[in-house]
Structure 1
Amino acid sequence: TGKPKGVMVEHHHVENLHHALQSTVFAHCAPNSGVSLNASIAFDSSLKSLTSLLAGHRLIVIPADVRADGMALIEFLNTGGVDVLDCTPTQLDVLLAIGLLEHRRSDLTLLVGGEALTQQTWNRLAQADQIRAFNVYGPTECTVDATVTEITTEQTQPVIGKPIANARIYLLDAQHQLVPPGAVGELYIGGAGVARGYLNRADLTAERFLDDPFVQGARMYRTGDLARYRADGNLEFLGRNDHQVKIRGFRIELGEIEAQIASHPAVREAVVIARARQQDTQDQQLVAYVTLVAEIDAGALREHLAS
């Protein structure tokens, strides 16, 4: 439908996320650390910042105007008592480009998630002084994060790590059989974080939330992501198995946009792709290609999409 889906997450799912992060990421942070609220509360990753209050940390809300200004945000991180920053790779790449590492005055813990990390960004974080960075992965349907790994020079390629406490990760083939180590499979998540399903969407819930064939009475979530296990047991993310992309943390179905463009009477066919604005960056934009049956300009197509 192209409309947002409501995911039914229970309190104990969030509690498990909180304790799992406290035993991994926040185990390295001092008591009463300043944890930034960098995301909108409409974005699931904000839960990680909000629940840090349960462990006695301070919550520091980053003003919206500061969040939109890279240099202002770097200054805020230095002067606002921020010890922990949760961000997407897109935002992080902007901060790195304008001097986050060079201007950092004290230790900072980074939680990076929502999109895949490039090799270039992974390397910079692994080699950075005063920065301790963690790569986290997980869909909203499994309560924000399902895997975590610290970014270090020991791991030379980007990985999404291993399951957090009480989460189960399966890599399955088309017959829902486990693939061997090193083989590519679709990533399914089971365990404590799996949500009830989608609000008022029984059909979609049945499609994505399946019976767990390995744990009787349990359920698992089909992510649509492809991954494989590396020799060290870490998961390597390999992209989507469908026509869905992620831009700045938002999952977007390209087919839905193509259908709306093609619904205009002047359009015969439409193809939409995600393309990086610059090489080796996470800053992507959507680009549409069309064949026409009648003359129309791009502005009119944008108006059609907006309506």
Structure 2
Amino acid sequence: RMFIEAYRRSFGEWTSEDRLLQLPALTFDMSQGEIFAGLISGSAMVLVAPEDASSPEALGALIRDQRVTYAGLSPAILSVVEAGPYPDLKYIMGGAEALPAELVNKWNLPGRTFLNLYGPTEASIATTEYLCEHKEWLSSPPIGRPEFSRLHYVVDKQFNLVPVGVPGELLIGGDEGLARGYLNLPELTDEKFVPDPFLGEGRVYRTGDV
């Protein structure tokens, strides 16, 4: 639900005229959000054959020939696929990895909307969003603001909140989307999923991201 709402805020309402590229494996949490976003909006899903997914040329041709309007692509894929021309491509989501500035500049062309999403699998599907402006990026775009009902804290090693601009570890909490833990790994679960140090109830996930 939070993932779909993030899409709506950034991309507007999809319709039956939209065609969504379905590239991620079904075992990847991002695919679930994209599938349900398509089902709710009545949009067409453009499925990618394994041989096309492994070929930058074939994937680019598919986006063009199937008139794809939305594509969610990791930086690894954005770096090897041509950025166009794709006359119908309007919405791009970059996620799964840190997003370099050069890829935003390459793909965030006039007439397109580029959304940077951040979110580890332990806090499915995404937890922050940032709509990239049309400008010359000199560094990676920020990960943005937390999505609805998500909690984010940046803390030091003693779990104290750090001031703005001071590095710290990102903790993710909230009522929805947080995993219960790791299957058959109780010690790792206890290490990474800890009580919320500020609310007195609930849990947070220690991302390890600074």
Q: Distance in 2 between matches of 1:79 and 1:26?
A: 22
Q: Identity rate of aligned residues, in percent?
A: 30
Aligned counterpart, 2:95:
113
> How far has the Cα of 1:56 moved from its partner?
2.5
What pairs with 1:16-165 in structure 2 (closer than 5 Å)?
16-18=2-4, 20-27=5-12, 29-32=13-16, 33-52=18-37, 53-95=39-81, 99-101=82-84, 103-126=85-108, 128-153=109-134, 156=137, 157=139, 158-165=141-148
Q: Distance in 2 between matches of 1:106 and 1:189?
A: 36
Cα offsets for 1:141-192 (capped at 9, x unmatched): 0002111111113684421111111111110000001000111110110112
Aligned mate of 2:177, from 193, 200, 209: 193
Aligned counterpart, 1:218:
202
Q: Distance in 1 between matches of 2:41 and 2:118?
A: 22
Q: State the AA in 1 paired with 2:95.
A: G
Q: State the AA in 1 paired with 2:133.
A: T
- The range that moved more, 197-206 or 147-156, is 147-156
Alignment partner of 1:203 is 2:187? yes
Question: Any conservation in 1 of the 2:93–2:115 contact (CA below 8 Å)?
Answer: yes
Question: Any conservation in 1 of the 2:105–2:135 contact (CA below 8 Å)?
Answer: no
Structure 1 residues 81, 104: CA separation in 2 closer, same or farther (over 3 Å shift)? Answer: closer
Cα offsets for 1:242-270 (capped at 9, x unmatched): xxxxxxxxxxxxxxxxxxxxxxxxxxxxx
> How far has the Cα of 1:80 moved from its partner?
1.3
Q: State the AA in 1 paired with 2:68.
A: V
Tell me the secondary structure at the aligned position of residue 207 of structure 2.
strand
Question: Any conservation in 1 of the 2:94–2:117 contact (CA below 8 Å)?
Answer: yes
Please list every run of 5 or more consecutive structure 1 residues that lacks an aligned counterpart in the other structure. Answer: 1-14, 227-307
What pairs with 1:144-293 in structure 2 (closer than 5 Å)?
144-153=125-134, 156=137, 157=139, 158-191=141-174, 192-226=176-210
In terms of Rg, which structure is larger? 1
Question: Any conservation in 1 of the 2:74–2:95 contact (CA below 8 Å)?
Answer: yes
Question: Any conservation in 2 of the 1:49–1:59 contact (CA below 8 Å)?
Answer: no
Q: Distance in 2 between matches of 1:21 and 1:74?
A: 26
Give the TM-score, by structure 1 length.
Answer: 0.63
Q: Distance in 1 between matches of 2:61 and 2:111?
A: 16
Please list every run of 5 or more consecutive structure 2 residues that lacks an aligned counterpart in the other structure. Answer: none
Q: Distance in 2 between matches of 1:154 and 1:72?
A: 29
Q: Distance in 2 between matches of 1:132 and 1:42?
A: 27
Question: Any conservation in 2 of the 1:106–1:130 contact (CA below 8 Å)?
Answer: no
> How far has the Cα of 1:138 moved from its partner?
0.7
Superposed structure 1 runs of 4+ greater than 3 Å apart: 153-157
Cα offsets for 1:96-151 (capped at 9, x unmatched): xxx323x212232111111111121223334x123211111110000021111111
Q: Distance in 2 between matches of 1:167 and 1:199?
A: 23
Q: Distance in 2 between matches of 1:23 and 1:54?
A: 11
- CA RMSD for the aligned pairs? 1.8
How many residues are matched? 205
The structure where strand makes up a greater share of residues is 1
> How far has the Cα of 1:76 moved from its partner?
0.9
Q: Distance in 2 between matches of 1:77 and 1:167?
A: 33
